[in-house]
Chain A
Amino acid sequence: MPRRTDLTSVLVIGSGPIVIGQAAEFDYSGTQALRVLKEEGLRVILVNSNPATIMTDPEFADATYVEPITPEVVEKIIAKERPDAILPTLGGQTALNTAIALDKNGVLDKYGVELIGANIAAIELGEDREKFKGVVERCGAESARSAIIHSLDEALGAAEDLGYPMVVRPSFTMGGLGSGLAYNEQDLRRIVGQGLQYSPTSEVLLEESILGWKEYELEMMRDKNDNVVVVCSIENFDPVGVHTGDSITVAPALTLTDREYQRLRDISIAVIREVGVDTGGCNIQFAVEPGTGRVVVIEMNPRVSRSSALASKATGFAIAKIATKLSLGYTLDEIPNDITRQTPASFEPTLDYVVVKVPRFAFEKFPAADDTLTTTMKSVGEAMAMGRNFTEALQKALRSLEQKGSQLTFDSVSEYDVPELIEAAKRPTTERLSQVQRALLGGGSVEELYEATGIDPWFLDQLVLLNEVAATVRAEGIKPDTLRLAKRHGFSDEQIGLLTHTPEAVVRGVRHALDIRPVFKTVDTCAAEFAAYTPYHYSSYDEEDEVGLHAKPSIIILGSGPNRIGQGIEFDYSCVHATMALRKAGYETVMVNCNPETVSTDYDVSTRLYFEPLTLEDVLEVIAAEERTGGVMGVFVQLGGQTPLKLAQALADAGIPILGTSPEAIDLAEHRGEFARVLAEAGLIAPKNGTAVSFEDAKAIADEIGYPVLVRPSYVLGGRGMEIVYDEAHLSRYISNATEITPDHPVLIDRFLEDAVEIDVDALFDGKDLYLGGIMEHIEEAGIHSGDSACVLPPITLGTDVLERVRVATRAIAEGVGVRGLINIQFALASDVLYVLEANPRASRTVPFVSKATGVQMAKAAALIGTGVTIHQLRTAYRMLPETGDGSRLPLSAPVSVKEAVLPFSRFRTPEGTVVDSLLGPEMRSTGEVMGIDRHFDTAFAKSQAAANNALPTQGKVFVSVANRDKRSVIMGVKRLSDLGFEIVSTGGTADVLRRNGIQATPVRKVAEGSSAEGEGTIADLVVAGEIDMVFNTPSGGEARSDGYQLRAAATSIGIPCITTVAEFNAAVQAIEALRTYQWSVTSLQDHARAIRGEDATAPVGG
């Protein structure tokens, strides 16, 4: 049966910003969906507020709305575009919740829009916990005993039945937000209290603890003919109690008999039918009691999920693509399996390898946070690896994390330390795997560790196996058989080097001399039963290599590895653009990456995909495989962030051509002394600075340049370990606590410019011409990490002479450094002096934002420059860049774009259960970003805030409390809010200042003052009670800082805007005024692009 012919246009809802629990996987699934819809000849409309996505590239849809994903905004889009249908199952919980809201408020009916791939009844059956329990029961299966509650009193009543510990899960939240485990009444009160807030329906589920049970997940697909297949089974290494997103997971399930597996499969099929999942994907999670095999259904997601992305990459079965086709009316047997070509998609993939996914955490960014892993997801990214056995896959996955200490180590463990390790392993943390392995190394038994952790003995035995192999390597040294043994179990050259006290390079040299090399196998969905036509490879130390010969030398693009704070989807964007542009130009491209969430690891994005760790060893082996099968033209290292960049020199040393900017130039930009020379030659200045290799050094430099200083380790992304240091004592603390400081790892010290405007530039340079992509003006002043700061393009307060100075400086730096491709430069403007803060000759985090804001695809241009194409050619023959002009001089008709960061504070709790501080600083902590785009700044800023789930209020109460230094600068703004009818609430000194300026501020008690004798609460109490609509609090030191913390924590936990800088406050006031004054509208990027080119007189309406 062909697809439905009654559909001509479809609106796809994306998932918005990258947040914990909803990340790049939805860009992957959404991009697949858009490609299918376009191929099917439909008019495709997209809404997604996240500019860093591939899916929001204008070429993937007919109308791309980078607008907030709220029911109101989506209604505006529907009214304008009048789509026939909405596809809401590929944009995570955000899209699904939006679709439900549009149904509930009658918008779908009003405009006659149909939901495809989902129906409301099924979504509700799947997601409403009480209804879902009924489903499970009707399917003859069991749920954990539970109670649904809507108040704390009900919760306490239910606790008497269920007993502690008890799992608490708010309904309709994503990534397990607000979930937790209550061991006692105090826990219960706290978690339920928050959970009721998080749940849009104020509904919380309490259930019997199934902690320690084995946890499984099945990924399912169903078509309209009721054909159902299981795409993948996934087993959690960590038993129930750790969110599956935070657990090490393994595919396929490895510790089930067929009878047990088929039981899970039967239940899954019964449930998908009973729920009535229309067409498409869903996943179902199970817990299995290890001693009896009792099966409990945990939950289902009636949509494509994070696990779907993992399952797609793990099996080669393109879930999102196929789900989209099913939503158009195709059946599974009508859709070919792309990999085998001859066989249909109506089958169940079978694997002849093992897949291991490991989460990547960012607790180092939130030192106050409790690092216990719970049912609330806290990881910010993940790496996946494949091997021909579990040990190989596990070790590859661990080294894919690229975190210090992520690889297992085998230094001997004293038997006296074992009890402590076992005790520590009882509490799940990021350290648990290593604790368990080390306890086993020290003589702990599998039984003891099973008892302590609930990790299946089969997995524990695999860790024992790794310990045994390590012992063999240590005892035998580097011999052929020993090397083969170690490699078969995934040991890296580095690990073997540590075990044998041999430098890694020597291990590799010996290994290569002995011709012990990995082969590359193929992911083919069918365990080699049929020939595979897609070169999707993974390495293994096995016998037969499957890489085919290629006619043209390949261009290898190194990806960015697991998402982390500071290096996220923005870098994947640049890698994907590069491969797209290069393939279009006729090159064979090869992608190397280990992040299952991304578009870059889709098997048909590049000519060949190697799903491999991005360590030097693994990358060299991929290059060797490509060299022996047809040659390598060169490698791109500048697109994937620091991960590939730090391999540049070693690759060059190995004789591998680096395309684009040379490693020497990269090094020059990072090297303080040489970079200073480039600046001096160009007549530019940097803040006074120095490089310290010891505390004494650091002190001398700080004394010379004067406090405050900005200190940070060299070679980091995302401002890792960066701090503003105000005095010597602080400096001493920083050096001793926060960093490793050696001649190899120096610390950079800069004069910190107070009250400076920070400016970010992305540009292209080909050795002759400069194309300046865009100039971004930060809204927060210097001192807040650029990744966390909102910024605006084009700049709204910089004069044309400043812009020209920026342009001239950019060109001078690009030329001086020797850039061939992209460069990102950060400037600061203080007292009208332009300082150069840093230059990075690589793709930056802002490349996608600039590309979306200006309608110019910079990463594609950069990739071609890397192959020798000139900017002149890109402007003329390729028409990839505008014929004249550049992003530094946008016409007045161009829209204003605001980038806003999205921060994960509400996910992280201190051990006492309060949220961590939401104060911004020089260390980046945002997980993602959104873009607001409109004709003027005020509306664009308002949109950016709404998109970041931080919608500004248009009425109500605003609390204002600012540090002394800020009091002068806030009066105008506060007065404006007061004039607009807001009630201003304030404490102490700020209230006095406001009243003297004629602003009626209602006084309220400070947190430090505590409640009054009459029971009048503090400002924090008011915030928690929901009486305040926006908090504006700038931090100062000492006691006031702690007061501020509790206030900010209250605002964060309840989810109201909490503004911590004057600059952002002033922007917010402008935006609120715009919201009050205009009915703003939505405009597609395609229409904005026409406005930029001056083609469309009817420029976007709005502010």
Chain B
Amino acid sequence: MTENAPVTGTGAAAVLVLEDGRAFRGRSYGAQGTALGEAVFATGMTGYQETITDPSYARQLVVQTAPHIGNTGVNSEDAESRRIWVAGYVVRDPARRPSNWRSEKSLDEELIEQGVVGIQGVDTRAITRHLRERGAMKAGIFSGADAARTDAELVAAVNGQRGMEGSRLAEEVSIDSRYVVEPSDYGWEGEPRFTVAALDLGIKAMTPKHFAQRGVRTVVLPADSTYDDVVAVGADGVFMSNGPGDPSTADAQVALLRKVLDAKKPFFGICFGNQILGRALGFGTYKLRYGHRGINQPVLDRRTGKVEITSQNHGFAVDAPLDGPVTAPEERFGRVEVSHVCLNDDVVEGLACLDLPAFSVQYHPEAAAGPHDSAYLFDRFIDFMADAARSGDGSDDLDASEVSKAPTHAQEEN
């Protein structure tokens, strides 16, 4: 284990240990103790509160490349879920004093309250370069008394945890029972236009908000919901969210989605949802060396030739052919094309079915944190539901806002 220059500053001693034995010594931040997880780096310069509360970061030790973290404190509006999900937090210079008109407490306090172990004062750029070259890896943060264990013990503890590959985590982060987000919660006036059944695989609060602002009711369902559960809520369309873990473990969700596709129900997936669509169509998924985690990622919409700056957080990707539409390996779903690619490395960032009302993106159109360039995708999904509604009951003269419930019920009865 390499020894680093001691870091000056307050707080108990802390050390970040990687599975290959590299260690970075700093001071404790947030709670003290031990945090184990996969070390990944996130490059966003804003949005740390959204980042740490994003369930997709479950079981990960997140290294923030931006050196100053916590400047705007923590507020009750910006959290993307009910709790902090990062397993541990690695920063260089945490704020001593938050400053923002919406700040309610410091990030440090919030981390302590939620028992999240962090480390500060380490060379986050050196860690990032290490992870970039060697890939995301198992790691541990040890602070206070735990930091005093021998190097061999620490490395052993790090290597004793299970890796991210093969990890099934969506069910761990998902809710136990369903809840509904009404359009009226976000100022929508009038009846909801549609109902979406959203499978919570680690859903972020901003997603139902986007639906609500467009007049769509979201019924958020637990990750282990069945097709019958989806039908039971009267869904006009099905949504699968982002979430943590290895998509190759999501057999239940893949099976569910295949039923949705067989029923020709409109489908929209984000992130983990994209990987599930990929698998449902018969493609494989694979783990990226160090993933895409940032809010500056250029994605090309191959159909329009336009570039969106996107928010991304994924360690796995879909393995689908980039050149032109192909028939899905699961042939009954017809033709599919890679609709979006990341311009940095040509990773698949979106899939579109050409013969079904289904599409998905690997990145985060709901943003939070990140740019809003891709919010139009929510509208595209709503258009699909509107089209389905029209063809469903044949009343083409009805406009979308009047469609609402009736057609869905008709489908349910079929």
Q: Is B328 in contact with chain A by the CB < 8 A criterion?
A: no
Given contacts A354-B68, A390-B68, contact A258 B370 (CB under 8 A): yes
Cross-chain contact B97 with A458 (CB below 8 angstroms): yes
Specify which chain A residues have a CB less than 8 angstroms from the CB of B68 in the assembled complex.
254, 354, 389-390
Shortest A617–chain B CB gap in Å is: 19
A332 to B66, CA, bound (A): 25
Which residue of A is nearest B2, CB measured?
A: A543
A residues in contact with B8, CB < 8 Å: 481-482, 484-485, 488
A390 to B99, CA, bound (A): 15
A187 to B5, CA, bound (A): 58
The reply to whether the CB of A351 lies closer than 8 angstroms to some CB of chain B is yes
Q: Does B93 contact A (CB under 8 A)?
A: yes
Q: Is the beta-carbon distance between A262 and B125 smaller than 8 angstroms?
A: no
| Interchain nearest-CB distance for A633 vs B (Å) | 30
Considering only residues 1-29 of chain B, those with a C-beta below 8 Å from chain A are 4-9, 24
Q: Is A697 an interface residue (CB 8 A)?
A: no
Measured between alpha carbons, how far is A235 from B257 in the docked complex, in Å?
46
- Of the candidates A254, A291, A388, A482, the one whose C-beta lies within 8 Å of that of B92 is A388
Tell whether, in the assembled complex, residue A346 and residue B298 are in contact, meaning their CB atoms are under 8 Å apart.
yes
Binary flags per residue of A219-247, CB closer than 8 Å to B gives 1, else 0: 00000011101100100000000000000
Known interface pairs A258-B370, A353-B67; A333-B95 also in contact (CB < 8 Å): no
Known A225-B306, A257-B72, A258-B78; judge A388-B67 contact (CB<8 A).
yes
On chain A, the residues within 8 Å of B45 by CB distance are: 233, 252, 350-351
Q: B43 contacts A544, CB within 8 Å?
A: no
A293 contacts chain B at the CB level, 8 A cutoff: yes
Give per-residue flags for B308-342: 1 if the beta carbon is below 8 A from chain A beta carbons, else 0. Answer: 01000000000000000000000000000000000
A229-B309, A262-B367, A347-B296 given as contacts; is B65 within 8 A of A544 (CB)?
Answer: no
Instruction: Check A333 against B344 for contact (C-beta < 8 Å).
Output: no
- Distance from B27 Cβ to chain A, minimum over Cβ atoms (Å): 12
A457 CB-CB contact with B under 8 Å: yes
Residue in A258, A351, A389, A481 whose beta carbon sits within 8 Å of that of B6 in the complex: A481
Which of A262, A353, A465 contacts B370 (CB under 8 A)?
Answer: A262
Separation of A741 and B124 alpha carbons in the complex (Å): 49
Instruction: Contact check, B125 vs A527: say whether CB atoms are below 8 A apart.
Output: yes
Is the beta-carbon distance between B43 and A255 smaller than 8 angstroms? no
Interface size for B (C-beta < 8 A) is 61
For B305, give its contact among A225, A265, A350, A530 (CB under 8 Å). Answer: A225
Minimum CB distance partner of A528 in chain B: B128
Query: Which residues in A have their C-beta under 8 angstroms from that of B6?
Result: 481, 484
Known: A226-B306, A350-B294, A481-B6. A254 touches B126 (CB 8 A): no
Q: Does any Cβ of B come within 8 Å of A411's Cβ?
A: no
Min Cβ gap B244→A in Å is 21
Once the chains bind, are A527 and B306 in contact (CB under 8 Å)? no
| Complex interface bits, B64-108 against A, C-beta within 8 A gives 1, otherwise 0 | 011110011001011000000000000011011111111000000
Instruction: Say what secondary structure dominates the interface of chain B.
Output: loop
Counting CB contacts under 8 A, is A259 at the interface? Answer: yes
**With A347-B296, A351-B66 known to touch, is A258 a contact of B50 (CB < 8 Å)?**
yes
Known contacts A333-B307, A542-B123, A544-B125; A350/B371 CB under 8 A = no
Is A342 in contact with B345, judged by CB distance below 8 angstroms? Answer: yes
CA gap between A256 and B9 in the complex, in Å: 25
B100 adjacent to A227 (CB under 8 Å): no
Question: Which A residues touch B46, using CB under 8 A?
Answer: 253, 256-258, 261-262
> Are A528 and B125 also in contact (CB < 8 A) when A256-B72, A347-B309, A484-B8 are?
yes
Alpha-carbon distance A526/B309, docked complex (angstroms) = 14
Q: Does A348 sit at the interface, judged by CB under 8 A? A: yes
Q: Are A543 and B371 in contact (CB under 8 A)?
A: no
Across-interface contacts of B343 in A (CB, < 8 A): 333, 343-344, 346-347
Q: Once bound together, how far apart are the Cα atoms of A259 and B66, in whole Å?
A: 17
By beta carbon, the residue of chain B nearest A349 is B296
21 contacts between A and B (CB under 8 A): A226-B306, A230-B309, A252-B45, A254-B68, A255-B72, A257-B72, A258-B295, A290-B101, A293-B102, A333-B343, A348-B371, A354-B67, A388-B125, A389-B93, A458-B97, A484-B8, A526-B296, A529-B41, A529-B43, A529-B294, A543-B5
Given A230-B309, A528-B132, 18 further pairs, Cβ under 8 A: A252-B66, A254-B68, A255-B99, A258-B44, A258-B49, A258-B368, A258-B369, A262-B46, A347-B344, A348-B309, A349-B296, A350-B44, A388-B125, A458-B97, A528-B125, A530-B132, A542-B125, A544-B125
Question: Hey, which bits of chain A sit against chain B, CB under 8 A?
Answer: 225-227, 229-230, 233, 252-259, 261-262, 265-266, 290-293, 331-333, 342-344, 346-354, 388-390, 446, 456-458, 461, 465, 481-482, 484-485, 488, 521, 526-531, 542-544, 546
